[in-house]
Amino acid sequence: MIKNIGIKVKQPGIECNDKKCPFHGNLAVRGRGFVGTIIKKDLHGTATIEWTYKHLIPKYERKETRRTRLHVHNPKCINAEVGDIVRIMQTKPISKTKNFVVIENLGKEKGFAERMAAKGEAKFKEKEKKEEAETKEEEQE
Ligand SMILES: [Zn+2]
């Protein structure tokens, strides 16, 4: 049984027994919605997502890039991975820092690993190196 959450999104392919799932649990979505990229996941169904926006500074007639980071609930049936672009929707407070839930996975962000590596996140640099090594090995074969 899939619940109608009131927003036109792609239905999750599998069923889950997550109480905090808007499709299979008791969680209603309401309020504000955003689209962002997952930058971190933990073992308890929480993901950290971030997105950027431009803010105008009238005095200098320039725009600066600002960033929002949020903790969101990642239901088991969607289970989006780091680097995925997701649509989120506000809910009642799920825990101390979570009051948003992932409702749709929109696919991989292009050049995510490169973007994180450029920011100096060591974890992604290692990954990039590994991938480089792997592609080199493939070329040799
Ligand atoms: Zn579910």
Q: What is the DSSP letter of 58?
A: G
Each domain of the chain, given as residue ranges in start order, spans: 14-109, 110-141
State the residue for tokens 């929707």. 89
Query: What is the average pLDDT score of the chain?
Result: 89
Question: What distance in angstroms lies between residue 4's CA and the mean position of ligand 1's atoms?
Answer: 12
pLDDT tens track for 106-125:
999 998 888 888 877 666 66
List Cβ neighbours of 70 (8 Å cut-off, separation of 6 or more): 34, 36, 48, 49, 50, 88, 100
pLDDT of residue 94: 93
Question: What distance in angstroms lies between residue 114's CA and the mean position of ligand 1's atoms?
Answer: 31
pLDDT band at residue 127 using 50, 70 and 90 as cut-offs: low
As a whole number, mean pLDDT of residues 9-19 equals 89
pLDDT of residue 68: 96
Question: What distance in angstroms lies between residue 71's CA and the mean position of ligand 1's atoms?
Answer: 18
Question: What distance in angstroms lies between residue 52's CA and the mean position of ligand 1's atoms?
Answer: 28
C-alpha 21/C-alpha 38 separation (Å) is: 18
- Single pTM value for the model: 0.79
Long-range contacts of 116-120 (CB under 8 A, 24+ apart): 116/39
Question: What distance in angstroms lies between residue 76's CA and the mean position of ligand 1's atoms?
Answer: 6
Question: What distance in angstroms lies between residue 44's CA and the mean position of ligand 1's atoms?
Answer: 15
C-alpha 79/C-alpha 102 separation (Å) is: 9
78 close to 24: Cβ distance less than 8 angstroms: no
| Cα Rg of the chain, angstroms | 18
Question: What distance in angstroms lies between residue 106's CA and the mean position of ligand 1's atoms?
Answer: 16
CATH number at 14-109: 2.40.50.1000
Q: Fill in the amino acid letter for 39.
A: I
